[in-house]
Structure 1
Amino acid sequence: MDRLSRSVLHSVTLGTDLRERGVGLHVIEQGIDTDTIEGRAMFGMLSVLAELQRELIVANTMDGLASARARGRVGGRRPELTADQAALAQQLYDTRDKTVQQIADLFGVPRSTMCRHPKGDTVPRQPRKAQERL
């Protein structure tokens, strides 16, 4: 039941839509049959309880994250490059010493990581000068 909809409004709308189409919902595990008045009432009550449970989980998760932050814990994935590595990568990028792929290979990270890092006051990329042909 709690996987059927995100909110009471959605489950009521779904129930109404199914009833208008002449479709009855039978929840075997809970023994609910929306073809009956009692079944529709139980469906509504269980929808309310499922939404309450979902909201309690969200609230508890937010409280846990706030508590962890208060203890100095920072969530999320660790950065692949340290601040010094990112600065060196930026310098290599700005001086055009290496390509983005070469810089990524140097630090052992994917190219997409390097595309996220060069930021801020970057030197505008200039087209490479055409080499003179002999």
Structure 2
Amino acid sequence: MASTARARLRAGPGAGRRRRPKLTEDQAELAQRLYDERENTVQQIADRFGVPRSTVYGHFDKTRTVPRQPRKPVVTKS
């Protein structure tokens, strides 16, 4: 028992306290690909994996994700 306590103290105060990611590495890569293809919204991707949008945004690769521009409305002449 004492050896376990000593080992934990040596590891540091924050050791082992991080939360596991909600998405696996494969799921995060798929989410990135779906977003990059511009066929799915972040909400649709989040719904697919059962997580909030903020989780999907958190897993995006910041170096290659370009913010989307709003789609321009289609103007029809009457």
> TM-score range, shorter-chain basis?
0.5 to 0.7
Q: How many residue pairs are counted as aligned between the two chains?
A: 69
Percent of residue pairs bearing the same amino acid type: 59
Instruction: Find out whether 1:64 has 2:17 as its counterpart.
Output: no
Cross-structure match for 2:54: 112
Alignment TM-score, normalising by the size of structure 1: 0.42
* Structure 1 unaligned blocks of 5 or more: 1-60, 68-72
Q: 1:10-69 CA distances to partner (integer Å, 9 max, x unpaired)?
A: xxxxxxxxxxxxxxxxxxxxxxxxxxxxxxxxxxxxxxxxxxxxxxxxxxx7951628xx
Alignment TM-score, normalising by the size of structure 2: 0.67
Alignment match of 1:95 (pick from 37, 40, 47): 37
Query: CA shift at 1:113, angstroms?
Result: 0.6
Structure showing greater relative contact order (alpha-carbon pairs closer than 8 Å, 6 or more residues apart): 2
Q: 1:88-132 CA distances to partner (integer Å, 9 max, x unpaired)?
A: 111111222111111100011112111211122113423313223
Match runs of 1:1-134 below 5 Å: 64=8, 66=11, 74-118=16-60, 119-133=62-76
Q: Runs in 1 of length 4+ with deviation above 4 angstroms?
A: none
Answer 1 or 2: which has greater helix percent. 1
Structure 1's 124 and 113: CA in aligned 2 closer, same or farther, altered over 3 A? closer
Residue 125 of structure 1 aligns to which amino acid in structure 2?
Answer: R
| Rg comparison, structure with higher value | 1
Structure 1's 79 and 62: CA in aligned 2 closer, same or farther, altered over 3 A? farther
RMSD, aligned CA? 2.8
Distance in 2 of aligned mates of 1:100 and 1:62:
45
Distance in 2 of aligned mates of 1:112 and 1:74:
23
